[in-house]
Amino acid sequence: MKRLAIYCGSATPADPVYIDTARLVGRTLAERGIGVVYGGGRLGLMGAVADSALAAGGEVIGVIPQALVDAEVAHRGLTELHTVTGMHQRKQAFTDLSDGFVTIPGGTGTMDELWEALSWAQLGYHADPVGLLNVAGYYDHLIAFWDKMGEVGFVRAQHRDLLIVADTLDTLLDAMAAHVPTQPIVRMKAADL
């Protein structure tokens, strides 16, 4: 994995575990020689990931919609900053520029990015690993929901392992490096669906 897209919030929650995790992610990726592709913002967890990776000598590529540049939230000290017209182009750029996806805590935008990465993996638009770092149990209910979708049959058995979950970053990165793509929906016959 040369680059990973990092999905996270632009807020800074009161509990320091979240900002500390963002800093750990940026620093660890830089130390492992893995570039960061992220939303291009300077605020919250997003800014902390970028700043920590840059401070550790890492590559950081931001992808940000023009509207957020206009709102003055763009990080101007990145290795590269790509400005796009909207969120669809932003998410496509994340997929084009990275070799996998890591989601750390965030809000609705983070969830949008995570679910799209999973959906695209199921469909076969990419074959990259999709990781979820479950910091302080933040994603316990989401993980239970993913499991429920599988139990009910809305996530096929061969796709249940698409979401790679770990409580520690090193464990997550190692599991993502060992990822083996599954058979995507576009290569299945109607009888298998």
Residue 188 has pLDDT above 70, yes or no: no
Mean pLDDT confidence for 128-136 = 98
Residue 187 has pLDDT above 90, yes or no: no
Task: Look over the chain and give the mean of its residue pLDDT values, rounded to a whole number.
Answer: 95
Joined tokens for residue 61: 């590529």
Higher pLDDT, 158 or 44: 44
Residue 158 confidence (pLDDT) = 87
- Which architecture characterizes domain 3-192 according to CATH? 3-Layer(aba) Sandwich (3.40)
Rounded Cα distance between 52 and 84, Å, is 24
Q: Which helix (H) or strand (E) holds 15?
A: none
Let me know: does 18 contact 134? Beta carbons within 8 Å. no
Residue 193 has pLDDT above 80, yes or no: no
Residue 166 confidence (pLDDT) = 98
Residue 82 confidence (pLDDT) = 97
Residue 184 has pLDDT above 90, yes or no: no
Q: Read off the pLDDT of residues 77-114 as tens digits, 9 standing for 90 and up.
A: 999 999 999 999 999 999 999 999 999 999 999 999 99
Rounded Cα distance between 129 and 85, Å, is 27
Share of the chain above pLDDT 90, in %: 89
Q: Where are the domains of the chain?
A: 3-192
Cα–Cα nearest to 24, from 176, 135, 174, 137: 135
Residue 140 has pLDDT above 90, yes or no: yes
Mean pLDDT confidence for 52-63 = 98
Residue 192 confidence (pLDDT) = 67
Joined tokens for residue 52: 């920590």
Half-sphere exposure of 159 (CA within 13 A, CB side): 24
pLDDT tier for residue 182 given thresholds of 50, 70 and 90: confident
Rounded Cα distance between 113 and 121, Å, is 12
